[in-house]
Amino acid sequence: MSFMYVPSLLRIPDVPCFTPPDGIWRGVGRDAGLFAFHSGDSSWGSYVMTEGSFAPSLVVDGSGLTPQYSTINGYIWWSGNGYVYNTVTYGWVYMTGKFAGYEPIEENFHYDEDTDTYSAEGDAFYSFRLPPYRPDSEVELIGRGSNYGKESKSMTAKWERWKSNTECGVYEAQDGASGEKLLGLPRFRTNGYEYFTRSFAKTKGHYTYGRIKYSETFGKWVIGEVGSGAGWHEGEEPKVGGSVTFRFCRNEDSAAEGSDITVSYVNHVRGDETTKAYLGEVAIWR
């Protein structure tokens, strides 16, 4: 998986109970469109990877509402089978039949002594304190306006994502995502505890792994220089999840001595390569 870390604040409208991370991993090449960042809440997984979704979706009556990254009264809002947004008068509301940002009306409260029920007139909507912000949380939606006194609804949160407890490594699919994702560069280690980290990009069609390189001249993976009087090692490209043995080689007339080297996968880590990152564009006014 190919990602670049962009150490700049993720700027989106305010999301209740969510603090944007200081930086994000941006997918490049075949991983373009993917983003990985600290979720801010371990219940989602300490780190999450998404396809452009920087906040959870909401679910009401089994129907999903997706986040919209613009502002209504200073906050993000959600749309789908209705709208969830922040109002001036009632705080957070769920409403259908109108438009996002509409300020609902509630009036003419009435108590019926015969039926011991309350009612009101106005728009049909529901209010609540805050949207759910954890996968195990459920929020009660209270009827307002012409829904006043009627049975309440419930709202839950859902976030299609891949999650991991560590920044680099395997991300597992959650909430409708599929497969596994990897973030970071694979790192390998010899039995002598020398580490080899794979390069971010290929050179002439091949990665490099520190001292392990592909020899274009000899068509093989080597450690050292083929033909060196001190000897060299020949093997195969290191494999994630496995081990490769590099055999010690020497010139026919050489008395050099050495041992074979076994290179084994350890984990995925951050690389130390840097490159230019495109962050956005600004119109030039003349």
- Looking at residue 219, its pLDDT comes to 95
- Looking at residue 282, its pLDDT comes to 62
- Looking at residue 20, its pLDDT comes to 78
- Looking at residue 42, its pLDDT comes to 87
Which of 198, 177, 185, 207 shows the shortest CA–CA distance to 263? Answer: 198
Q: How many whole angstroms separate alpha carbon 166 and alpha carbon 184?
A: 11
Which of 173, 199, 201 shows the shortest CA–CA distance to 188? Answer: 199
- Looking at residue 11, its pLDDT comes to 77
DSSP class of residue 284?
P
E-state strands within 123-231: 124-128, 138-145, 153-158, 161-164, 169-174, 180-183, 185-190, 195-197, 212-215, 220-223
Residue with tokens 């780190």: 47
Pair 255, 182: CB distance under 8 Å: no
- Looking at residue 2, its pLDDT comes to 81
- Looking at residue 119, its pLDDT comes to 85
**Six-digit token string for 128:** 């609540």
What pTM was estimated for this model as a whole? 0.79
Q: How many whole angstroms separate alpha carbon 177 and alpha carbon 199?
A: 28
Instruction: Give the residues of the chain that fall short of pLDDT 50.
Output: none
Task: Please report which residue ranges of 178-232 form alpha helices under DSSP H.
Answer: none
DSSP class of residue 193?
-
Pair 188, 194: CB distance under 8 Å: no
Which of 41, 10, 42, 39 shows the shortest CA–CA distance to 24? Answer: 10
Sort strands 161-164 and 47-50 into parallel, antiparallel or unpaired. antiparallel
Q: How many whole angstroms separate alpha carbon 170 and alpha carbon 90?
A: 43
Phi, psi (5° rounding) for residue 30? -70, -15
Q: How many whole angstroms separate alpha carbon 246 and alpha carbon 44?
A: 42
Phi, psi (5° rounding) for residue 31? -100, 10
Given strand 232-235, what is the order of strands in its sheet? 195-197, 185-190, 261-269, 243-249, 232-235, 220-223, 212-215
Q: How many whole angstroms separate alpha carbon 206 and alpha carbon 218?
A: 14
- Looking at residue 286, its pLDDT comes to 59
